[in-house]
Amino acid sequence: MNRRTHMTTHAVRFALGLVAVATFVASCSSPKSQTPPPEPEGITKTYERGPLALTLTLDKKEITTADVFALELTATLPEGYEAALPDPDKKLGELSVRDQRESRPRLEGTGKVAIARQYTLEPFLAGEYKVPPLKVQFWKTGESEKHDAETEELSVSVTSVLPQDGKQPTLREILSPVGLPRSYRWLLYLIPAALGGAVASILVLLLRRRRGKERVALEKQIPPHERALSDLEALIAARLVEQGDYKEFYFRLSLILRRYIEGRFGLHAPERTTEEFLTELGASDALTGNHKLLLRDFLKHCDLVKFAKLEPGYQETQEATDSCRRFVLDTIPQPVERAA
């Protein structure tokens, strides 16, 4: 075999090797049939009406008679709006309400607050069940007009835990109850403890009443504006803002202004909610329109920090403190000038 024939044989072998490698790579890189993703166990629906976004979540579409459903309803609204979530007593359609609870408001995004209520639902028998539509009312704070939003009906399936062959499970016979001996020794400890608790309660009540009368008599001697400015300086000295305790700071700041309004204008501010107080304030002629607007914005801002867990910045706390001080200074009663 000459040299040229030898080189041709090697070239053919090399080309066949390349073809084999390319075929192997192509077979490995060919797309394989992908299995479809599993279907979600639960159901999530979102509904919108105006500023309201309503989310309904059901954790499972199918359970057995030994399980329960978890249903959550979340309402998201801009700040300045309120919502009332449905509160069924013991039944929701054909499902029993074993438990329900409402979570605290939380901030969602910029300028939005979300409230949620969780329901634990329990079926009685196997079959197809319907979760009826849930109605939510929402309104703008301070306005009487209310709007409704409603979810759609959901279907859930409940299967039995009993065997499907029709055989009834064997139950053991219930044993008769065992009697326990009665003992009345606990009365020897209960009677002295009850008498001691009653005497202690009476003493505490008398002491509080006496201190309350002394405090009221002392507060009547101090003008409301002097007491408010003194309490405001004490609040600043407590350095709650520097410690990050914004909720306590705004609670005490709001209470200072409410007590001043009660002492200065006779409006019952401390015992009432912000909505009740603003309603009474709107019908009163004791304050000017500018002062009413200042109070409304101030109290609503305090409520967002106290109840919606809004975390203000240092500048916002300074502005709230200055608004409280300015309101007190602007409404100090002026001395009556006597006619010459």
CA 31 to chain centre: 48
pLDDT of residue 269: 64
- Round the CA-based radius of gyration of the chain to a whole number and report it: 36
Q: Report residue 187 as tokens.
A: 């009365």
- Between CA 138 and CA 275 the distance in angstroms is 15
Question: Torsions phi, psi of 153, nearest 5?
Answer: -75, 140
pLDDT (0 to 100) of residue 340 = 46
Q: Give the pLDDT score at 39.
A: 62
Closest CA to 297 of 264, 267, 268, 326: 326
Half-sphere exposure of 40 (CA within 13 A, CB side): 7
The Cα 134–Cα 83 span in angstroms is 13
CATH number of 43-159: 2.60.40.10
Contact assessment for residue 72 and residue 125, using Cβ atoms and an 8 Å cutoff: no
DSSP 297: H
Token pair recorded at residue 162: 């009993």
Pull the structure tokens for residue 315: 């500048």
Length of the chain in residues, anyone? 340
Q: What is the pLDDT of residue 333?
A: 82
Domain ranges across the chain? 43-159, 210-330
Beta strands (DSSP E) in 40-134 are 43-49, 52-58, 62-64, 69-78, 81-84, 91-92, 95-102, 106-107, 112-122, 127-131
Which amino acid, residue 197?
A: G
What pLDDT, on the 0 to 100 scale, is given for residue 42? 79
pLDDT beneath 70, residues of the chain: 1-40, 162-172, 178-181, 213-220, 269-271, 308-309, 335-340
CA 317 to chain centre: 24
